[in-house]
Amino acid sequence: MKTEMPMTMSMERTPAMQRCMDDCCHCMTMCMETMTYCMTKTMSMQMMSMLQDCADMCQLAARCMMRFSSMSPRMCGMCAEMCTTCATMCDQFSNDKMMMRCAEMCRRCAECCKTMAHATAVA
């Protein structure tokens, strides 16, 4: 039975990796600020939970990249998925500037995480 080895990543921080870590940190902050903003509005628990989940995932992905974790590609892939979902949920509030700013940041983070998920994976 073949045992799969975990993906590895280079121990060199590239400009793309730094940008992705920065985007993850900005997205985490944006989601937390948006969650605080949503507390003053009538928002569903599902929306509030998604904002918290997205913030947590962004933080985890950034921290994995910071320490060159072999799990970074997987975490970045999951972060991209979470950010895309969060952006879609925020898009439902198209007349709300704060929600649109959050959606935009989530999409930006999703794109860089998709790139990192593919770029850092080594067969």
Per-residue pLDDT tens digits for 47-85 = 999 999 999 999 999 999 999 999 999 999 999 999 999
Q: What is the pLDDT of residue 109?
A: 98
In the chain, what are the domains? 16-119 (1.20.1270.360)
Q: Specify the residue for token string 């060199």.
A: 12
Q: What does the DSSP assignment read for 37-86?
A: HHTTS---HHHHHHHHHHHHHHHHHHHHHHTT-TTHHHHHHHHHHHHHHH
What is the average pLDDT across 90-112? 97
What letter would DSSP give residue 12? S
Cα 33 from Cα 70, distance rounded (Å): 30
Note the Cα 81 to chain centre separation in Å: 8
